[in-house]
Amino acid sequence: MSRREALQATAGAVAFAALPLPAQAADSAATPVPPTQTLPLEVTVNGRVHQLAVDPRLSVLDMLRERLSLTGTKKGCNQGACGACTVLIDGQRVNACLALAVMHDGAKITTIEGVAEGETLHPLQVAFIEHDAFQCGYCTSGQIMSGLGCISEGHASSAEEISYWMSGNICRCGAYPGIVAAVAQAAKEDRT
Amino acid sequence: MRPFEFQRAASESEAIAAAAAGARYLAGGTTLVDLMREEVETPEKIVDINRLPLNYIRATDEAIVIGALARMSEVAANQDVRRLQPLIPETLTEGASPQLRNVASIGGNLLQRVRCPYFRMLDAACNKRVPGSGCSAIDGLNAGHAILGSSEHCVATHPSDLAVSLVALGATLSLKGPRGERTIPVEELFRLPESTPHLEHTLEPGELIVEVHVPNGPYARKARYLKVRDRSSYEFALVSAAAALHVENGIIKEVRIAAGGVGTRPWRMNAVEQALVGKPAARASYEIAAAVSTEETRPLSHNGFKVKLLPATIVRALEMAGDVA
């Protein structure tokens, strides 16, 4: 059993034992619902093609984490507010939690697992280490994916501009000065 | 999230037929998917319209025409829009986050649901979510709520920044529905809450926003958007103002002003505009005219500050517009 599986099993058991069933979940169970659909889906993730059959409710985030075991992309708020789930879809940074997988049939997705080349880290990953741009690390993969978007869009020419254009990524540890410095350094290297 | 039936529309007619039969349109999904997960929205059918050929931006001498599926970030970066209608990119970039702007469509932006916290809270009373259940905001935490256009049934502000600027610029919408095509001013898309706050817009069942026309008025180039909020990026407005000026020899020939964060819909400031025409384009005129903006305001227990902030925001936005060369 991996560390993640152990954590999931424990968390699931604890939650089940400790929490009463929420009223809303009980309502959902009682309401008649249309039959669940399963749709075919083809996505290319980090250069690898995947063919899946998915429930239309599945988010890109849950598809990456639960179906493809790419757990580098994190679930923070699951409401599009925190940016922890940021990935690139067809080169654009987006919140994977608000994207239904079925909306992205045929898409090319890049996650944090696809950023380094083998053992060689991407310059932005190196910059995050050099500038201590994280503490707990939970937001970091989203910050890096968003930083890649920020740089490729051309919105990383000053600290002020980076702060504005990275505002969709929350860091509860408050590592913002390091994050801004890391994005600035990688943007500078990108230009030279 | 409740189960739903998912369909991809290959044509406008297919999409409209599905929506007329009860399906909800899905474009960027940044509002709808979020609210479906919270079970505030529980559609039984979804029709994905992202493959319709409505992602375009056209510029002519008379107007900018924006397809309903153009994304906020695409419109904000478009060189023609930046040149002819600089208010639109400025306004778009002040809204949401970069990730959301890459996904959210222009049509969806106009139809986004309110950000009143009680609307999202299933155990709170909300006439928008459950008609007749009451309004938890009126006696609750209402610092962010409306001072204009509210009723005893709903006090939520309309959250779109873009809608404020489109109302100021006199933009119109092309609509297609089961009964054909029509054009309406953006301002007429939005209903006041009155006794039916669950009815938010004037679209007929199945009607689809196809495109937005923004006329290149003589005021379009001298236009600015000012958004006052609790943090400087990625936050909804406490008060915002779009101001567009046409000045000749220092005298205001024509002016357009709309405010956000204060009304239950984007609020055109007709009386302020009238008080400015023929006056010098200077702070003294702006201050006298902006004072008129608060005449019909009805503040709640926590949002009285907006009554002071509204005219101050209008004055500053007019100054900013006046400074555009």
Q: Number of A:B CB contacts under 8 A?
A: 96
Residue range A22-50: average pLDDT?
73
In the predicted model, is pLDDT for residue A30 greater than 70?
A: no
Whether the predicted pLDDT of A96 surpasses 50: yes
Q: How many residues does chain B have?
A: 325
- pLDDT bin (cut points 50, 70, 90) of residue B47 is very high
Contact state of A95 with B48 under an 8 Å Cβ cutoff? no
DSSP B113: P
Q: Do B102 and A163 touch (CB under 8 A)?
A: no
A-chain residues near B99 (CB < 8 A): 80, 83, 86, 93-95, 146, 149, 168
Contacts of A25 (CB under 8 A, 6+ apart): none
In a domain, B189, yes or no: no
ipTM of this complex prediction, to 2 decimal places = 0.96
CATH 1.10.150.120 occupies which residues in chain A?
123-191
Q: Per the domain annotation, does B95 fall within a domain? A: no
Residues of B with a Cβ under 8 Å from any A Cβ are: 1-6, 8, 26, 29-30, 33-34, 37-39, 44-46, 48, 50, 73, 96-100, 102-103, 122-123, 232-234
Q: Which homologous superfamily does the CATH classification assign to the domain defined by A36-114?
A: Beta-grasp domain (3.10.20.30)
pLDDT at A2: 54
- From chain A, the residues in CB contact with B96 under 8 A are 168
pLDDT digit string (tens) for B176-191? 999 999 999 999 999 9
Chain B nearest-CA residue for A168: B97
Q: What is the pLDDT, as a whole number, of residue A191?
A: 85
Place A192 in a pLDDT band, splitting at 50, 70 and 90.
Answer: confident
The strand order across the sheet containing B267-268 reads B223-228, B239-248, B251-260, B267-268
Higher pLDDT, A28 or B196: B196
Q: Give buried/exposed letters for B225-261 (b at 16+ CB in 10 A, else e).
A: bbbbbeeebbbbbbbbbbbbbbbeeeebeebbbbbbb
Residues 96-125 of A with CB under 8 A from B: 98-100, 102-103
Residues B153-182 pLDDT 10s: 999 999 999 999 999 999 999 999 999 999
CATH 3.10.20.30 residue ranges of chain A are 36-114
Q: Total domain count for chain B?
A: 2
Sign of the dihedral through C-alpha B48, B54, B56, B61: negative
Q: For residue A36, what pLDDT is reported?
A: 77
Euclidean distance between CA atoms A178 and A134, whole angstroms: 7
Which residues in chain A have their CB less than 8 angstroms from residue B39's CB? 24, 28
Mean pLDDT over all residues of chain A?
A: 88
- Give a yes or no: residue B258 inside a domain: yes
Question: What CATH homologous superfamily does A123-191 map to?
Answer: [2Fe-2S]-binding domain (1.10.150.120)
Contact B2 A31 (CB under 8 A): yes
Neighbours of B299 (CB within 10 A): 19
pLDDT per residue as tens digits for the range B93-127: 999 999 999 999 999 999 999 999 999 999 999 99
Interface probe with B: pick from A94, A104, A139, A146, most Cβ of B within 10 Å: A94
pLDDT, tens digit, 9 for 90 and up, residues A74-85 = 999 999 999 999
Identify the domain containing residue B44 by its residue range. 5-50
Length, in residues, of chain A: 192
The CATH number of the domain holding residue B301 is: 3.30.390.50
Looking at beta carbons, which residues of chain B come within 8 Å of A153? 98
Q: Is A142 on the interface with B (CB under 8 A)?
A: no
Q: Which of B102, B113, B123 to mutate to test the interface with A (most CBs of A within 10 A)?
A: B102
Model confidence over B288-309: pLDDT tens digits? 999 999 999 999 999 999 999 9
Identify the residue whose tokens are 């009304």: B263
State the alpha helices, DSSP H only, in A31-158: 60-62, 123-130, 140-152
Q: Is residue B80 part of a domain?
A: no
B76-102 mean pLDDT: 97
Give the pLDDT score at A16.
Answer: 43
B28: domain CATH number is 3.30.43.10
CB contact at 8 A, B74 and A63: no
Q: Is residue B79 part of a domain?
A: no
